[in-house]
Amino acid sequence: EDQVTQSPEALRLQEGESSSLNCSYTVSGLRGLFWYRQDPGKGPEFLFTLYSAGEEKEKERLKATLTKKESFLHITAPKPEDSATYLCAVHGPDASNFGNEKLTFGTGTRLTIIP
Amino acid sequence: DAGVTQSPTHLIKTRGQQVTLRCSPKSGHDTVSWYQQALGQGPQFIFQYYEEEERQRGNFPDRFSGHQFPNYSSELNVNALLLGDSALYLCASTKAGGAPEQYFGPGTRLTVT
């Protein structure tokens, strides 16, 4: 069964203080790893898709990287508006040969940026 | 570009009652998935619909059922509500054979008392 573990559970940073969030995964045959941002009481907002080890994607102050066992979401010089919960999810083997099937999520990292 | 929409936004029900939640997928998408998110947890997959059929199901009891209409919109029905069904219910859409990322709606907050 696919498993996703995120750490830390919560992270408080000063504005401008860079850091990284971790997502460790266990899946036989990764077809995609996804990062989402979720604000309180709202639906997750798609950020990145990573497909293979060594791949990197960037968007503004965020950069996602992928290895064979984990992914990192690096946040550089964060601002208060970056405060949110960041969710990692994986797409496992195509069991039914259908295609875009379920995502397995971690429990998220709650990030707070202090002005 | 119309995103995923869900209704209602909030709902309060009593134990034992039944509830129906609705979702319209993002423009151009034909596949709808439903997730349950308890407070402080990540979303848990309930089931997925494509071509009006349930394609895959997570570890949820038969009290959870769904439907997809010809216009790709979908409903989630929950019977015999339990206190533990209180959660944020999320709908996500994607296009079969397209990019794998799923786009989520704002969710329906269900409270069972």
* Residue B21 domain-assigned (yes or no): yes
> CB-CB: which of B56, B104, B107 is closest to A96?
B56
* Residue B113 domain-assigned (yes or no): no
Decide if A43 and B58 are in contact by the 8 Å CB cutoff.
no
* Residue B29 domain-assigned (yes or no): yes
* Residue B112 domain-assigned (yes or no): no
Please state, in angstroms and as integers, the Cα–Cα distance from residue B85 to each residue in A112, B21, B28, B66, following that order. Answer: 29, 13, 31, 16
CATH of the domain at B79: 2.60.40.10
> CB-CB: which of A36, A42, A99 is closest to B107?
A42
pLDDT in tens, B45-102: 999 999 999 988 999 999 999 999 999 999 999 999 999 999 999 999 998 888 888 9
Min Cα distance B15 → chain A (Å) is 23
Decide if A46 and B101 are in contact by the 8 Å CB cutoff.
yes
Q: Residue A99: list chain B partners with CB under 8 A.
A: 96-97, 100
Q: Residue A3: list chain B partners with CB under 8 A.
A: none
pLDDT in tens, A45-71: 999 999 999 999 999 999 999 999 999
* Residue B96 domain-assigned (yes or no): yes
Does the CB of B40 have a partner CB in chain A at under 8 Å? yes
From A6, which residue of chain B is nearest by alpha-carbon distance?
B42
| Spans of all domains in chain A | 3-8+16-92
Residue A35 scores a pLDDT above 60: yes
Domain that holds residue B58: 5-107
* Residue B37 domain-assigned (yes or no): yes
Provide the number of structural domains found in chain B.
1
Q: Give the right CATH number for A3-8+16-92 from 3.30.413.10, 2.60.40.1220, 2.60.40.420, 2.60.40.10.
A: 2.60.40.10
